[in-house]
Amino acid sequence: MTMPDSFDPFRSDKPLILYIDFKSPYAYLAKDPAYAIEEQFGIEIDWRPLTLDIPSYLGSARLDATGKVAESNRTPQQWSGVKYAYRDARRYASLRNLTLRGTTKIWDSSLAGLGMEWAKAQGRAILRGYIDRVYDRFWKRELDIEDPHVVEAVLAESGAGLAGFTEYCNGEGRVRHDARQLQIFEAGVFGVPSFIVDGELFFGREHLPRVRWLLSGKRGAPPDVAYRHFEAERAL
């Protein structure tokens, strides 16, 4: 398995970069709208993992089996923000019949990110199959994304070859992932979903109208942020 050596957080041979993390509900909500962009413009997105270090900026917490907070170092303000974010993501998810069950801890999603890089190298269909399965099952609490055997099984189910995957995760892939995460953060990409078009960063799916406007060659007036519906998006 060979992968490109050069890496620039803001540049790609694809017209659009999208950073996602499987443990982010907002990134999950951006997945299908991003597919729609690929289809509308006939492009491939450069999907990249961004493994969030949530405790560094939002504190950390762990729930017990009953859903009560067992450990936490969050401030009241951080709790307000986290609770609102989940409520907000869940209400939009429910309208698309997506299940978002609150996580019981802050997961290390780096292995799932390595799996995504592995799937990406094997083609778009395999990548989509992997992304869809991981998001759907993780947010139903049906997937332990820290378990290498579980990630391998999802890759296999998505049609990916697995020869060398374990070595990749324990060697080259892990080293590259960790180095890139530092590069991405140092370059100023701090959250997901983050879209990069023409070297410009857009954090959040509310920027999809602007992303589309840029991809269409800036036709018409520049749009404002909005969570629009699919048809309104395509009409831009």
Partner 1 sequence: MSEATDETLPSLIGDAPAVCVDFKNPKSYLALRPTFALEDELGMTFDWWPVQVSAMSRPQPEQRNEDRGTRHRRIRALYYERDLRRYANVYGLELGDFYRNPDVAVASIGLLWVKQRAPRSLRAYLHAVFERYWQERLRLDDANAIDALLQEIGVDTSRFREHAQGDGRTNYDSLVNGLRAAGIFDVPAYVVEGEIFFGRQHLPMVRWLLTGRRGEPPI
Among 6, 13, 95, 220, binds partner 1 (CB under 8 A): 95
**Which among 62, 61, 54 has a CA at the least distance from the CA of 27?**
54
State the minimum distance, in angstroms, from the CB of residue 84 to partner 1: 7
Beta pairing class for 69-72 and 61-63: antiparallel
Q: Which stretch binds partner 1 (CB under 8 A): 37-45, 51-59, 141-149, 160-168?
A: 51-59
Instruction: Specify the residue for token string 């983050």.
Output: 194
CB contact at 8 A, 19 and 183? no
Among 11, 91, 101, 218, binds partner 1 (CB under 8 A): 91
Q: State the DSSP string of 14-72.
A: SSEEEEE-TT-HHHHHHHHHHHHHHHHHT--EEEEE----THHHH--EEE-TTS-EEEE
Among 90, 120, 177, 212, binds partner 1 (CB under 8 A): 90
Q: Helices 110-120 and 124-138, interaxial angle, to 10°?
A: 160
Q: Report d(CA 219, CA 56) in Å as an integer.
A: 40
Considering only residues 123 through 152, tell me which ones interact with partner 1, judged by CB under 8 A.
none
Q: Does 57 bind partner 1 (CB under 8 A)?
A: yes
Considering only residues 163 through 192, tell me which ones interact with partner 1, judged by CB under 8 A.
185, 188, 190-191
Nearer to partner 1, 158 or 181 (CB): 181
> Binding residues for partner 1, per CB under 8 A?
29, 32-33, 53, 56-57, 77, 80-81, 84, 87-88, 90-92, 94-96, 185, 188, 190-191, 201-206, 221-233
